[in-house]
Chains A and B, each alone.
Chain A
Amino acid sequence: MAIALDSVVQLVQLLLVLALAPLLTGYVRRVKARLLRRQGPPLIQPYRDLYRLLRKEVVLAHTASWVFRVAPYLIFATTWVAAALVPTFASGLVFSYAADMIVIVALLGSARFMLALAGLDVGTSFGGIGSSREMMIASLAEPAMLMVVFTLSLLAGSTQLSSIAAFMQGPGIGLRVSLALALVGLIMVALAENARIPVDNPATHLELTMVHEAMILEYSGRHLALIEAASYLKLLLYLSVVACVFVPLGIAEAGQGPTAYLAALAVYVAKLAAGGFLLAVFETAIAKMRVFRVSDFLGAALMLGFLATLLLFVSRVA
């Protein structure tokens, strides 16, 4: 019986992340527009975009293979599963012990692998640009993320996100330098992975500035809808990770009952709103870097993560 109830809660989380993701992106876009003194699209515009795209027919290039057709489903599935593994309103859910933070990073890597292949599939130069730049960014962002994961795991004694969240809520933390460095590194990686300014511009289709958009240039219809949904989910995932690790107050333990869950859900939505607002302010405040400066940026993130791990290796004795 308990297993059945836990599975229901896990299913609720699975559907919740899918439902909230487009809302988060709509909110970020609206805040950005307001900061630029524009009206901005309505908050539910991403839902409308998805609905519109899902109903349209797919236009496939003659040279597109089955990889092109299957990739959106796999990208969406892996990103959705990864997003469902991050504790949002409750930690310690049934599924969360099947995979830890390293698995989440690797699942996002799978999604990126399929996306890069889809970019190369049609045989145009735009897809190639996006794929090669994306793999360069990933070759630095993924190790930086793994170093941040190492830092958190060394502190918490576990790679499970639920255990890390529980540890962060506990008393034994204090303010640690490694955590601050890990936070900065995580934010830099999140900006790069979600194709946000200063790494990539999600609102433009110019060749000079595209990375993510270049890979999905040939997609249309329901395929494009799935890929857009996957990118919304990815943003939600990263914000949830930052929220559950660095601002863990208000996360309910598994099995605490529906009232606790609802309260934790309200706290979670508030955290997402705050995070989205800060993201929008940051994106509006700075300019995009040129592509080869991104490697310096992510190299700095890797160094920060490495430094954080190094300091932890050292000061555990001191």
Chain B
Amino acid sequence: MDQLALDVAHMFAGGLVLVSFMLLYQDRMTGIVNIFALHALVVSLSVAWQAYIQHAPHLYITAAIALVVKAIVIPVALHRIIVRLGIHRTIEPVVGIGLTMLAGIGLVALSIMVMLPITAEAGTLAREDLAFALSVILLGLLMMISRRNAVSQVIGFMSIENGLILAATGAKGMPLVVEISVAFSILIALIVIGIFLFRIRERFDSVDIHLLHEHRGEQP
């Protein structure tokens, strides 16, 4: 039973890394939002399983928040933003999908190499969850820097937060108040970013970062 619990938790954590790779692979806007919904779903399932095996009922609430807010509300909102902004384009990566995924593999290797020796005294579950969580965080960051599009940067930012949740639940003990505050801050950040996206779109007719970069700075 214990081995099974470990394996299922392991499976969810690995599944989260896999979904992060799927996020890196996507090149369509709607695809990214849908995969992000899947990302949040996997995180909520993982947290729910942790609640079950750690006998920590407050984590069920964390799981529910993750499910409702991040797997349903935010993707629906983002879909509506996309429709309102009128962008349905493909998202070009900066260096090509193959190289991006190769960099992703390097980051996973790096986080394993860093995490596993450091946490040598902790339990197996915590060690591997931390290694996978760090990978998810790094992959989220990679997604933010390897795309030219503002929406994909938002998604990358939120997937980082999912990685943090995985780390916190894996390490046994994340008080509910921390989770609520973190979730609300993410929501606020999203609202702010959404407003900014509207303004940018109004002003420049595009949310392509490259275009925006040319417009910043001094007026001649």
Contacts and interface: CB of A to CB of B under 8 A. Distances in A.
Question: Do they bind each other?
Answer: yes
A237 B17 CA distance: 30
Contacts of B116: 314, 317-318
Interface in A278-318: 295-296, 299-300, 303-304, 306-307, 310-311, 314-315, 317-318
A177 interface: yes
A78 to B, nearest CB: 30
Given A174-B7, A180-B11, A310 B112 contact: yes
Interface in B1-25: 3-4, 6-8, 10-11, 13-15, 17-18, 21, 25
Interface stretch (B52-60, B99-107, B145-153, B164-172): B99-107
Interface of A is mostly: helix
A225 B98 CA distance: 38
Interface residues of B, number: 27
A176 interface: yes
A315 B21 CA distance: 20
A184 interface: yes
Given A181-B18, A307-B108, A299 B101 contact: yes
B124 interface: yes
B64 to A, nearest CB: 25
Interface in B23-68: 25
Contact of B101 (A303, A311, A318): A303
Nearest to B18: A181
B97 interface: yes
A274 B124 CA distance: 36
Given A181-B18, A296-B98, A299-B101, A175 B11 contact: yes
A182 to B, nearest CB: 11
A180 B25 contact: no
Contact of A296 (B7, B10, B97): B97
B108 A315 contact: no
Interface in B89-124: 97-98, 101-102, 104-105, 108-109, 112, 116, 124
Contact of A177 (B3, B14, B109): B14
A296 B124 CA distance: 34
B101 to A, nearest CB: 5
B162 to A, nearest CB: 17
Contacts of B10: 175-177
Contacts of B128: 315, 318
Contacts of A176: 7, 10-11
B70 interface: no
A178 B17 CA distance: 12
A300 B112 contact: no
A310 B98 contact: no
Contact of B105 (A178, A295, A296, A306): A306
B112 A295 contact: no
A306 B103 CA distance: 13
Contacts of A315: 128
A299 B116 CA distance: 27
B97 A180 contact: no
Interface string A171-199: 00011111011001000000000000000
B3 A303 contact: no
B35 to A, nearest CB: 13
Nearest to A300: B25
A303 B11 contact: no
A254 B101 CA distance: 43
B180 to A, nearest CB: 30
Nearest to B13: A177
A181 B127 contact: no
Interface of B: 3-4, 6-8, 10-11, 13-15, 17-18, 21, 25, 97-98, 101-102, 104-105, 108-109, 112, 116, 124, 127-128
10 tightest Cβ-Cβ pairs between the two chains A and B: A177-B14, A174-B7, A175-B7, A299-B98, A296-B97, A303-B101, A175-B11, A314-B112, A303-B105, A300-B25
18 contacts: A175-B4, A175-B8, A175-B10, A175-B11, A177-B17, A178-B14, A295-B98, A299-B97, A299-B98, A300-B101, A303-B21, A303-B101, A303-B104, A307-B21, A307-B108, A311-B14, A314-B116, A318-B116
